[in-house]
Structures are given as C-alpha cells and as structure tokens.
Amino acid sequence: MIRSALEQRPGGLVARVTIDNPAKLNILSPSTLQELKKEIQKAGANSALRAIVLSGAGEKAFVGGAQLETLGSLDPKSAREFITLIHEACAAMRECPVPVVARINGWCLGAGLEIAACCDLRLAAAHAVFGMPEVRLGIPSVVEAAMLPRLVGAGRARWLVMTGETIDAERALAWGLIEEVFSPGTFEKDFNQRIDALLSGDAEALRAQKRLCRLWEEAPLAESVRASIDEFAASYGKGEPNRRIAAFRAARAKR
C-alpha cells in the first residue's frame, strides 16, 4: 500500500509518499511497485510541486527488499515481468521533474536500495542498514543496481552485490551511498531542515538542475556541456536570476 499527502513547507509544496506495510518491513510486492510508480508520476505531474519525500512506514525499515513469496514463485517469463516492475518504479524516481529525497529510516535492502539509489538525495537515520543480498538467494543484483558504481565506485559496488553483506549508516555515509546521517532523536527535525534548505533554491532552476544531473550520469561529457549551456541561457528567460542577484547585492550592501 502507498500513502501520499501534500505538505506546505515554507519553501513550497512537498509530496510525502510512504510505502505503508511496516509489519513486513515495507517489502515490495508487484502491486506495491505498480502503485509506487503511479504515485510518483502523479505527484511529479503537479506543476506546483517542489519536491517528493519517499519513506517507509514505521521506524524499522525504508524498504526491506522485494517480496520473498513473489521471488520464490517466479519462472523465467514472470521473473522478467517482475524485475521490469522494479525498473519502472526506479525509473519513475529518475524521470520525476522535481527532486526525490529518500528518508531512510531503517532497513534498506535489495530492491529498496535500488529505489533509494534512484532518488536524488538519501538522508538516513543512524540505525539504517544497507545491503544487496540477492546473490545469497541465487539471483544477481540487476536493473538500477547499476547506479551503485556511480555512487560508491566500482570496487565498493562489487563488494555490496557480490558478498550480499550489509553496511551500517556510518559506512554508507563514508562510501558516499548516502548524503547525511541523523540521530533517531532528532531525525525528523534534522530531515525537515534539509528539505527546507533544498527548497530555498528557485523552483525552475531546481528542475533544470535535476535534468542536468540525470544527463551528467548518462551522456558523454560534450553533450552534457552543450545541454548545460542551453539550460543556463534559458534560466534568464523570465529574469529570475537578475532579480535574485539584485536582491543579494542589495542585502550585501546593507550589511
């Protein structure tokens, strides 16, 4: 089950999307994956939206992985269909026009880590645990596990997917898998402060920046540079940089 709610923050509108099955560590069934994809796409279609926060319900897990009952019943045809659902849910995060922030409040395993890897930012509680255990179940880590070398480097990505062992939040931070770690007692407060910092930027500039970040991950350098020039020039179309820079200079002059 997926829950979604809109929240008006000081910097603008945020969608809170929650994978809601805490009794089973918010595991991903076929129907949950389909729901998640649709909810992210629906939220992203809102032109007033500034960001999406993706979380798992409860205090134990972000996503504990894919549903074992499903994994244990697949054949080659249905396996292809199921892994395609995981890919489509991951792709929805990357294709969403606004930043998607993973609020990682516990276990983040397998397909859950692939989902998190496709978010733009990953902020975690200190008790979060990360891993890719698929090889221990007789299957390789696939689809958006391909994001892991971009985040942590080839060697560390291979360690995660080849050993199936888990790492704690402190090591995940050191490896670059996540951006920040917060203590459980202040997690919500600290997390919201970071969301507000994200929303302090101009809305259109932030959407342009997301487009560029995705392109930088996928395109050759020359294409990325050309697109960056186009986005920079287009940002002046409505005069927002001029207004913001003038306001900054005026405030600096007063100081």
Contact 112, 60 (CB under 8 A): no
| Separation between Cα atoms, residue 39 and residue 34, nearest integer Å | 9
- 218/118 Cα distance (integer angstroms): 13
Determine whether 144 is an active site residue: no
pLDDT in tens, 223-245: 999 999 999 999 999 889 999 98
* pLDDT confidence band for 65 (50 / 70 / 90): very high
In tens, the pLDDT along 22-54 reads: 999 999 999 999 999 999 999 999 999 999 999
**Which pLDDT score, from 0 to 100, does residue 248 have?**
87
Which of the listed CATH numbers 1.10.8, 1.10.10, 1.10.12, 2.30.30 matches domain 203-254? 1.10.12
Q: Which fold has domain 2-198?
A: 2-enoyl-CoA Hydratase; Chain A, domain 1 (3.90.226)
Catalytic residue among 69, 114, 179, 217: 114
Of 28, 37, 106, 32, residue with least CA distance to 67: 28
Q: Can you tell me the mean pLDDT for 250-255?
A: 87
Report the pLDDT averaged over residues 105-126.
Answer: 98
Match 């995705």 to its residue by tokens: 214
What mean pLDDT value characterizes the chain? 96
**Domains of the chain: which residue ranges?**
2-198, 203-254
pLDDT digits (tens, 9 = 90+) for 164-181: 999 999 999 999 999 999
pLDDT at 129: 98
* Spatial contact of 186 and 194, defined as CB atoms under 8 Å apart: no
Active site includes 114?
yes
Q: Please tell me which residue in 39, 81, 95, 134 is annotated as part of the active site.
A: 134
pTM for the whole structure = 0.95
